[in-house]
């Protein structure tokens, strides 16, 4: 299918920020499961935008403002053609690191005794089956509840309260899989929802686990499925912080207000329908 993405992030400052630096992981790569047909990043202020890659092979743009500004909008628009690969990340995806790297614990994914017990409760067997069982158990045990956690919550904290959002589900899955000896990583991206809800509050997140003879396989415990053609992969990391879409800092500016607008939709929608939602 063809998926259109419009993503706008606006920062407003109490007084002009002298200098703003942002690292943008907003650009997907083409691979067997997805082909990027059109993609652009724009800002509404004078800024330098330099493209590069990080250690995980993600496309990273470094943004530097040129002069003091009291507001900054980063707009991403693009179209990606996708196919269903059953969750398997096939040829064409840049892989810089050995899967063993993704056994490494981070502060965000460090398991506690409760996650250890949860991981041990998953029946023994082939890796693929165990990961599907882990995903099912996690969806059943941890409720999806917007506002129950923040971006700084760890896997252990979210698991303790048995509720969270897609970031928490992904990080709990990763912590559990690593405890089971299976390399796992965090994925940020987009989901074209099938319920007609195209305006979304935030990007989506899921996990991938390494399965011998298959490679990286995706698991979305928030929805209880492996990614399909409705998913667009953007960035991977050891945890949410390593794959966050935008991360940076400003010098001066005082209090900062953040506003995000995201629309993910099939391209078959008409221009009239899009304009009724406020998108050009």
Domain co-membership, 170 together with 253: no
Mean pLDDT of the chain: 93
Answer whether 55's CB lies under 8 Å from 96's CB. yes
Mean pLDDT of 3-7: 97
Domain co-membership, 264 together with 134: no
Residue 42 maps to which CATH number?
A: 2.60.40.2250
pLDDT at 95: 80
Domain co-membership, 68 together with 89: no
Domain co-membership, 175 together with 93: yes
Q: What pTM was computed for the model?
A: 0.92
CA 229-199-92 angle, to 5 degrees, is 30
Domain co-membership, 93 together with 212: yes
Residue 161 maps to which CATH number?
A: 3.10.620.30
Given a cut of 90, whether residue 94 has pLDDT beyond it is: no
pLDDT tens digit sequence for 196-231: 899 999 999 999 999 999 999 999 999 999 999 999
Domain co-membership, 137 together with 189: yes
pLDDT at 270: 44
Domain co-membership, 66 together with 97: no
Domain co-membership, 19 together with 114: no
pLDDT at 196: 85
Whole-angstrom distance, CA of residue 249 vs CA of residue 135: 35
pLDDT at 96: 81
> What band does 253 get if pLDDT is binned at 50, 70 and 90?
confident
Mean pLDDT of 94-118: 94
Helix (H) or strand (E) holding 231, with range, is strand 231-237
Length of the chain: 280
Domain co-membership, 42 together with 134: no
pLDDT tens digit sequence for 221-230: 999 999 999 9
Domain co-membership, 169 together with 123: yes
Domain that holds residue 172: 84-243
Mean pLDDT of 28-51: 93
> Which residues, in sequence order, are bridge partners of residue 256?
13
> What band does 254 get if pLDDT is binned at 50, 70 and 90?
confident
Domain co-membership, 88 together with 180: yes
């Amino acid at each position: 299918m063809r998926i259109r993405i419009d993503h706008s992030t606006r920062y407003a400052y109490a007084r002009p920020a002298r200098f703003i630096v942002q690292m943008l992981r907003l650009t997907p790569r083409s691979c067997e499961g997805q082909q990027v047909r059109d993609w652009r990043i724009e800002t509404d202020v004078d800024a330098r935008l330099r493209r590069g890659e990080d250690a995980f092979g993600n496309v990273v743009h470094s943004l530097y403002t040129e002069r003091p500004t009291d507001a900054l909008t980063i707009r991403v628009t693009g179209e990606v053609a996708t196919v269903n690969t059953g969750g398997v990340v096939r040829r064409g995806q840049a892989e810089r690191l050995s899967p063993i790297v993704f056994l490494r614990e981070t502060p965000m994914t460090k398991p506690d005794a409760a996650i250890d017990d949860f991981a041990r409760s998953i029946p023994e067997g082939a890796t693929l089956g165990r990961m599907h069982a882990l995903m099912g158990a996690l969806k059943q045990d941890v409720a999806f509840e917007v506002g129950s956690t923040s971006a700084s919550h760890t896997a252990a904290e979210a698991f303790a309260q048995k509720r969270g959002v897609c970031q928490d589900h992904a990080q709990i899955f990763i912590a559990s899989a690593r405890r089971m000896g299976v390399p796992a990583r965090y994925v940020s991206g987009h989901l074209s929802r099938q319920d007609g809800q195209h305006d979304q509050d935030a990007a989506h997140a899921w996990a991938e686990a390494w399965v011998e003879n298959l490679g990286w396989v995706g698991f979305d415990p928030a929805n209880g499925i492996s990614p399909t053609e409705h998913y667009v992969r953007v960035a991977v990391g050891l945890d949410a912080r390593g794959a966050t879409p935008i991360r940076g800092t400003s010098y001066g500016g005082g209090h900062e207000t953040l506003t995000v607008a995201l629309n993910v939709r099939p391209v078959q929608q008409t221009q009239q329908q899009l304009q009724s939602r406020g998108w050009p």
